[in-house]
Amino acid sequence: MTENLGVLGTKTPRRTGVERVVNAPLPTVYGKFQAVGYMDHDRGEEQVALVHGDIGAERVLVRLHSECLTGDAFGSQHCECGDQLAAAMRAVVAEGSGIVVYLRGHEGRGIGLLAKLRAMALQAEGLDTVEANLALGLPVDARDYGVAAGMLHDLGVRSVRLMSNNPLKREALVRHGVQVDEQVPLLIPPCESNITYLRTKRERMDHHLPHLDAVAHLS
């Protein structure tokens, strides 16, 4: 790696951490948000937090949403991500204030879009989502939440009510200095295409999905 040398030959310190870059109004079908754009200097990634209303600092209703192109944009029924994103945006608007942090670089629990598609191809052959990642020589979950905590700190948030079924998200936020007062379930009714995936999340990744008990009839 070449060093970044200034005109006097001294080393220019590289920026680190997360920097707020832009704030733009974003009207959506769910309600009005502010899209607050950040640059993550550690990873070189662009990130965005959708802020609704006057959020305050304590017990802020927050969703940390991991990017999922197939679920969020294409309406994939392989997973429940698209429905979770919509439900989170609706919940924040219904509450009157809150934040949806949309985490880019989290495709396929952090393995990337193409690897996720490879894992989905293996799942179509009968592997579950955990086995598929491992068969590809990839981690089951490679997501990092440091940038999310950095964005919440920048927005003045000290404690959250976290909309998530995933205990790892809660633990990660706490580790990064954001208090989690409450974990709010975000339960999406399963369908035939995603019931196996959801059961794997519950049984192998410890997700809290009590509503799956009621749908034993789905194969």
Q: Is 107 among the annotated ligand-binding positions?
A: yes
CB 25, min distance to Zn ion, A = 28
Q: How many helices (H) and strands (E) does the chain have?
A: 8, 7
204 catalytic residue (yes or no) = no
Residues that bind Zn ion (CB under 5 A): 68, 71, 79, 81
Q: Kindly tell me which of 71 and 98 has the beta carbon lying closer to Zn ion.
A: 71
141 catalytic residue (yes or no) = yes
Nearest to 106 by CA among 153, 147, 152: 147
Q: Is 123 among the annotated ligand-binding positions?
A: no
Residue type, 110: G
Q: Which residues make Cβ contacts (< 8 Å) with residue 217, sequence separation at least 6?
A: none
Q: Is 129 among the annotated ligand-binding positions?
A: yes
Q: Is 67 among the annotated ligand-binding positions?
A: yes
CB 144, min distance to Zn ion, A = 18
Q: Which residues make Cβ contacts (< 8 Å) with residue 21, sequence separation at least 6?
A: 37, 38, 39
Q: Which helix (H) or strand (E) holds 160?
A: strand 159-163
Q: Which of the following is catalytic: 128, 141, 144, 154?
A: 141
Dig out the tokens for 23 from the structure.
Answer: 């704030």
Q: Kindly tell me which of 79 and 88 has the beta carbon lying closer to Zn ion.
A: 79
Q: Is 97 among the annotated ligand-binding positions?
A: no
Q: Kindly tell me which of 36 and 85 has the beta carbon lying closer to Zn ion.
A: 85
CB 208, min distance to Zn ion, A = 18
Q: Kindly tell me which of 40 and 107 has the beta carbon lying closer to Zn ion.
A: 107
Q: How many CB atoms lie within 10 A of CB 173?
A: 23
The torsion angles phi and psi of 2, rounded to 5 degrees, stand at: -85, 145
Binding-site entries for GTP: 63-67, 84, 107-109, 129, 164, 169
Binding-site entries for Zn(2+): 68, 79, 81
| Catalytic residue ranges | 141, 143
